[in-house]
Amino acid sequence: MKRFFAILFVFVSAMMLIAQPKNIVVIMGDGMGYNHLLLSELLAEINNLEIATNKFQVASLVRNETIDNIVTDSAAAATAFFCGQKTKLGCLGIDKDQIPINSIATILKEEGYKIGLITNTKFSDATPAAMYAHAFRDDKKKILEDLIETDFLDFFVAGGLEDLGVNPFTLKPTSKSPLKKLNENGYKIYGINYEPLFDGPNDKFMAFVSLGHKSFENQLIAGEPTYLEIIEKTISKINLEEPLFLFIECGRIDHASHINDEKALKAELIMFQKIVNYITRVFPSEDTLFIIFADHETGGLSLMSSPTKSEDISIKWNTTDHTATYVPFLTFGNSKDSFPKLMHLMDVKEYLLEILEIKIPEGVH
Ligand SMILES: [Zn+2]
C-alpha cells in the first residue's frame, strides 16, 4: 500500500510539473486598445498573413487606472503589471510615496528563470524602465544609473545608442560611454545590426539596436532590420532549454498613435501579428504561457465603414493622447485559463506567482 502511495505521489508530482508553465512569454502592444487589435487582425487578413492573435482567447477584461487619474500612462501601467501595485502617473517601479517596489522579474530570477526584455523603443522609455528602474519617468539620469546597476536581466534589447554615448556617425562608443560600465557589470554589448561593441559572456548580453527609438516599420532606413528580424536574432542567441520570462514590447504602436500617423500605425500592427506568429512557434504551447496585453489605449482609435477586405480600412482618431478603456489581456498555451474575468493590471503579478506556485515572504512586495 505504501508503495502504491509512493508511486501515486511521484505520478501526481510529475503531473504538477507538467501542469506548470516552464516559460512565461509576454507580448505587449503599447497603446494597443481593442480597436487597434481588431485593425491588426483585419490587416493581417488582407495581407494574407496568419491572424496570429486568433489562437489566443480573451482571458480577462482589464482596467488600468492609476491612483490619481482614470487615464493611465505607460509608466504607471507597466509598474502595475511588473510590480503588482497601483501607483501615480509617471512612476516607474515606485509606489505613490516613492518607495521602490519589486518587479516580478526579480522574483522570477531568484526562482531560477532567465529574464529577457526586448523593445523597439529607447532603453529609457517608460515600459522597459519600469522593469528595472525605480524613478520618475522623466529622470533619465536615475533610469540610466538603475540600468547600470541591474543584475537580474540576462538579456536586454532596446534602442537609445545616442543616449549611451555612441557617436551617431561612426557608431563607435566614446571614451565616456556608459556602455563600458554595462560591460564591466558582466554584459556582452552589441550595437546596431548586432555587431559586438564590447566582448563578454555569450549568455548575458545587451543589444542596442538603434540610435533612438527603432524606426517605424514603414520608414526603415537603408539596411535597418525589421523588428521581427531583431527578435529572431535575439532568440537565436538564447538557450531555450532553460525556464524563461520574456517580455517583448511593441512600443511604436503607441508612438504612431500619439502622432495620429495612420500608415505608421498600420505597419506596426502588421508587424505585431508577424511577431506573435513567430514567437508562438518558437516556444511549445504545452509548457509556455503566452500573454498578449496592452497597457492602455492611445488615440481613441475608431474603425469606420470600409468594404470587407478593403486594402484601405478607414480609421478616425479622437485624440493624440491616451484614453481610458478596458485593455486587451489575451492568453494562449499552458495555464491560459488561470486569470479572473475582470481584473486590474496590478493583479497580473499575483496570478502569475500563483500559477508558478511561488510564495513571496510577507512584507516583501
Ligand atoms: Zn503613450
**CATH number, domain at 261?**
3.40.720.10
State the cell numbers at 307: 468594404
Distance between Cα 31 and ligand 1 center (Å): 6
Answer yes or no: is pLDDT of 235 > 80: yes
Q: What is the pLDDT of residue 365?
A: 53
- Dihedral (Cα; 120, 124, 130, 136), 10-degree rounding: -150
Query: How many A from CA of 36 to the centre of ligand 1?
Result: 14
Q: Within a domain: residue 27?
A: no
Residue 214 counted as domain residue: yes
For residue 42, being part of any structural domain is answered with: no
C-alpha to C-alpha distances, 194 to 55, 114, 180, 190, 346, nearest whole angstrom: 32, 20, 17, 5, 35
State in Å: Cα 193 to ligand 1 middle: 27
- Is 84 a residue whose pLDDT tops 80? yes
The answer to whether residue 140 scores a pLDDT higher than 80 is yes
Q: What total of structural domains would you count in the chain?
A: 1
301 in Cβ contact with 36 (< 8 Å):
yes
Determine, yes or no, domain membership for 36: no
Secondary structure letter of residue 161 according to DSSP: G
Q: Ligand 1 centroid vs 40 CA: distance in angstroms?
A: 18
How far, in whole angstroms, is CA 310 from its chain's centroid?
Answer: 31
- Return the closest-CA partner of residue 248 out of 101, 66, 32: 32
323 Cα–ligand 1 center, Å: 10
Whether 300 maps to a domain, the answer reads yes
The stretch 70-75 carries a mean pLDDT of 96
In this structure, is residue 21 part of a structural domain? Answer: no
Q: What's the CA-to-centroid distance between 76 and ligand 1, angstroms? A: 11
Q: Which domain holds residue 336?
A: 49-355
Residue 24 resides in a domain: no
Q: Is the pLDDT of residue 70 over 90?
A: yes
166 domain-assigned: yes
Render pLDDT for 158-190 as a digit per residue (tens, 0 to 9).
Answer: 999 999 999 999 999 999 999 999 999 999 999
